[in-house]
Amino acid sequence: MAKKLSKAERVKALRDKLKTQDLGGGGAGFYSPKVGKNTIRILPEVRDMDFFFQPVGRHYFPDGRKVYCPSFTTEKEKDCPVCEIVKELHSIGDKQSKKLASSLGVRRSWWMNVIDRDNEESGPLMYTPGVMVFNSIISLINDPDYGDITDIDEGSDIIIARDGTGIDTSYEVHGRRKESALTDDDEMLEEWLDKAKDLTWVEVSEDPEEDDELSEGHAVHIVPYDRIVEDFGLDSFDDEYEEAEEEESDRRPKRKTKRKPVVEEDEVEEDEVEEDEVEEDEVEDEVEPAKEVKRRIARRSRRR
């Protein structure tokens, strides 16, 4: 009994800790490679994770809100209403629709726990690389000279060389030549594996008030299909979009050539630089009425 209690207390303490790291922390608990050379160690899977990484897709709305893509994040176990709209927009096929589609389109990253060798005191941090870095990590693992680089005894640190910032960022990833233990300190090892986050996705309910409880300290929350539709006003998206299009063709026979540059939407995959600002995405922050979102989506498509 006493043992059970202490376990519960431990879980509670852990949840509390995770909460303070997630909510409004603005990047606390996340790792981002600095310009230059970085040495990190990828942690193996912990708790419910099958592998050391969790694919995470996100959609960003014109009003700044974002939502995890249920489809990409669950590897197609769940459907995503935003992806469906993106697909429709692509099939409409004109330039504006394509632009909107590309800004709404899923941005893919692969989340993992890492130790920053230059900052081990911080313990495990979540790293959210995009396609390019993740591919390099896969190549290392497929390379017989490296194998499972996340192995706590015989894995390897990796070096990430980052060049540039913003959309000009590029990365090169290498493995350390020598294999090495995650740490030689057993206590440290236990602490790190304990503090590493379980990155498996969890589905929250239709009720935002239950989010906290259901997410159980997991970083990746899937919101049910219908709730995404409602929260983001997607049910009448098509109508709004068509209206906006008509208005545009009435009002503006000539397209302006100069416009706000499209934010790094095409590059995001290589450019998960701004994670730090991205991580406060907790479903309960999303209070803006759906109507407003629809209006903004419409206004945005009008602008383009």
CB of 232 to Zn ion, least distance (A): 11
The two tokens of residue 230 are 């409602």
CB of 84 to Zn ion, least distance (A): 8
CB of 236 to Zn ion, least distance (A): 19
Count of Cβ atoms closer than 10 Å to residue 55 Cβ: 18
Which residues contact Zn ion by CB under 5 A? 69, 71, 80, 82-83, 106
CB of 229 to Zn ion, least distance (A): 12
Whole-angstrom Cα distance, residue 149 to residue 94? 45
Look at residues 224, 229, 232 and name the one whose alpha carbon lies nearest to residue 292. 232
Rounded to the nearest 10°, the torsion over CA 265, 45, 125, 280 is 50
Closer residue to Zn ion, CB minimum distance, 52 or 68: 68
Closer residue to Zn ion, CB minimum distance, 71 or 215: 71
- E strand or H helix that includes residue 60: strand 53-60
Count of Cβ atoms closer than 10 Å to residue 37 Cβ: 13
Stated length of the chain: 304
Closer residue to Zn ion, CB minimum distance, 137 or 234: 234
The two tokens of residue 294 are 């629809």
CB of 95 to Zn ion, least distance (A): 22
Closer residue to Zn ion, CB minimum distance, 131 or 152: 131
Closer residue to Zn ion, CB minimum distance, 83 or 133: 83
